[in-house]
Amino acid sequence: MLKTLVSGDTPRSPILLAILIVILICLAFAPFLFPGVRSVDTAARICIFIVLVASYDLLLGYGGIVSFAHTMFFGLGAYGVALASTDMGRGFDALLVGSVAGAGLAALLALVIGLFSLRVRAIFFAMITLAVASAVAVLVSQLSTLTGGEDGLSFKIPRALGPAFKFMDGELFGVKANGKLLKYYLVFISCFVLFLLMLRVVNSPFGRVLQAIRENDFRAEAIGYRVVHYRVAATCLSAAIAALAGALYAVWLRYVGPDTTLSMEIMIDILLMVVIGGMGTMYGAVIGATLFVLAQNYLQNVLSLAGESVATLPLLPDLLNADRWLLWLGVLFILSVYFFPTGIVGRLRGK
């Protein structure tokens, strides 16, 4: 039963299995296990980033395609929900219309970019997505009447997802039984389903062809697979799922802005998470996103402590400054690509 749920793609390592179960339990019961506002927020972020990073892994790890437009698709979903909720008023219909429209538009845009660049050389894709994504980010911040520009958009979500809504009296295991709890579970369950769906895709015949293409595209073409079709399909699917993750993120934050969804920083974060977690494993996305979001929220404190302890030395305090944690992540990232390209998951599986 469980095996079917994960499409036969088991973790294949006892330690990995243990870690995944711990993460799953923590996320599934986060509002009860860690009842603070900040920790529930962290848990929701982890859920959403797992989906976002896994959808990127679909492209990078399984398809062997580097894209820099993943935040653009993420943003399309987020802005879709925000704009629909602003125009149609708060309601689940607005959320649905917004996410579907965002995902559809993301898939369409991915189709166009994919057909243009993947037809010629896979390497064009990386450059073209970088250019297009940056242009879109600039455009979004310029079209302030529609998108709120740099300030972004705050919008109202259905009352049933707000703190004022009580779905039962009193408390549930010591936690207020309000709409906020429902909202968390909306995010968690959606992410869980989306993740299982992706696991299914990569273990389907489609996923296997994709991996064959990644290993050797000439041979795949020679065997008779239309390489471009498969790559474009993977791009569209990955874009649509990223957009759905974006929609969830917008719902969670009740806000959307260029910095939270479209920025190059998030794109780099996604890259770091997928590589450090392990490309082409899906579970790598879980590990990578969890570690990264936790580190982002808590590790910076550790770094600043380290920075203070060497405050008297030259340059070192600057290097250990909490704001410079990207520096160390960058170094870690390069080392991972060289020395363990299969990431943490690959290591745990003993590859």
Partner 1 sequence: MSAAPEHAPTMAKMSLTERLAPHAPILLVIALILAGLVAIPATSSWLTLTVSGLAMGMMIFIMASGLTLVFGLMDVINFGHGAFVSVGAFVGVSFLLLLEHMTGAPNLLWNLTALMVAIVGAMAATGVMGWAFERVIVKPVYGHHLKQILVTMGGLIVVEQLIIVLWGPEEIYITRPEALKGAITFAGAALEKYRLVAVGIGLVVFLAMRWTLRRTKIGLIVRAGVENGEMVQALGYNLRMVFIGVFVAGSALAGLGGVLWGLYQEVITAHMGNQTMILVFIVVIIGGLGSVEGCFIGALMVGLMQNYVAFLEPKAALISNIALMVAILMWRPTGMIPVVKAK
Indicate the residue among 93 and 151 with the shorter CB distance to partner 1: 151
CB of 200 to partner 1, least distance (A): 25
- How many beta carbons lie within 10 A of that of residue 160, not counting itself? 16
Q: Which is nearer to partner 1, 17 or 130 (CB)?
A: 130
Distance separating alpha carbons of residues 2 and 335, to the nearest angstrom: 35
Of 4-12, 114-122, 222-230, 237-245, the segment contacting partner 1 by CB under 8 A is 114-122
User: Closer to partner 1 at the Cβ: 116 or 225?
Assistant: 116
With respect to partner 1, which residue has the nearer C-beta, 168 or 315?
315
Q: How many CB atoms lie within 10 A of CB 22?
A: 11
Measured from the CB of residue 123, what is the shortest distance to partner 1 in angstroms? 5
Torsion sign (Cα): 296, 298, 301, 306: negative
CA 293 to chain centre: 11
Q: 3-class DSSP state for residue 278?
A: coil
Contact string (CB under 8 A) for partner 1, positions 62-101, x = contact: --x-x-----------------------------------
**Part of the chain binding partner 1 (CB under 8 A), chosen from 9-17, 130-138, 220-228, 290-298:** 130-138
- Least Å from the CB of residue 329 to partner 1: 7
Q: Torsion angle, CA of 220/224/230/231, rounded to 10 degrees?
A: 50
Q: How far is the CB of 336 from partner 1 (least distance, A)?
A: 9
Residue 25 CA from chain centroid, whole number: 20
The Cα 125–Cα 78 span in angstroms is: 23
What sign does the dihedral 110-111-116-121 (CA atoms) show? Answer: positive
> Smallest gap, in angstroms, from Cβ of residue 131 to partner 1?
5
**CA separation for the pair 161, 184 (Å, rounded):** 9
- 5-64 residues in contact with partner 1 (CB under 8 A) are 60, 64
Taken as a whole, the chain contains a residue count of: 351
Report which of 68, 51, 21 is spatially closest to residue 249, judged by C-alpha positions: 51
218 binds partner 1 (CB under 8 A): no
**Options 33, 41, 116, 347; binder of partner 1; rule CB under 8 A:** 116
Comparing CB distances to partner 1, the nearer of 37 and 315 is: 315
Give the Cβ contact number of residue 229 at 10 Å.
13
Q: Please, which residue, 88 or 331, has the CB nearer to partner 1?
A: 331
- Comparing CB distances to partner 1, the nearer of 82 and 267 is 267
Our CB check for partner 1 shows the closer of 199 and 275 to be 275
Q: Considering only residues 252-281, where is the footprint of partner 1 by CB under 8 A?
A: 264, 268, 271, 275
Determine if 127 is a binding residue for partner 1 (CB under 8 A): yes
Q: Which residue has the tokens 């369950």?
A: 189
Residue 168: φ, ψ to 5°: -160, 160
Whole-number minimum distance, CB 257 to partner 1, in Å?
A: 18
CB distance 281 to 63 below 8 Å: no
Binding partner 1 (rule: CB under 8 A), the pick from 122, 199, 240, 287 is 122
Please give the Cα distance from 107 to 105 (Å, whole number): 5
Number of residues that bind partner 1 (CB under 8 A): 43
Nearer to partner 1, 6 or 316 (CB): 316
Residue type, 203: N
Among 25, 120, 222, 310, binds partner 1 (CB under 8 A): 120
**210 and 232 in contact (C-beta within 8 Å)?**
no
d(CA 207, CA 139): 35
Contacts to partner 1 by CB under 8 A: 60, 64, 66, 116-117, 119-124, 126-128, 130-132, 134-135, 138-139, 142-143, 264, 268, 271, 275, 315, 318-319, 321, 323-324, 326-327, 329-331, 333-334, 337-338, 341
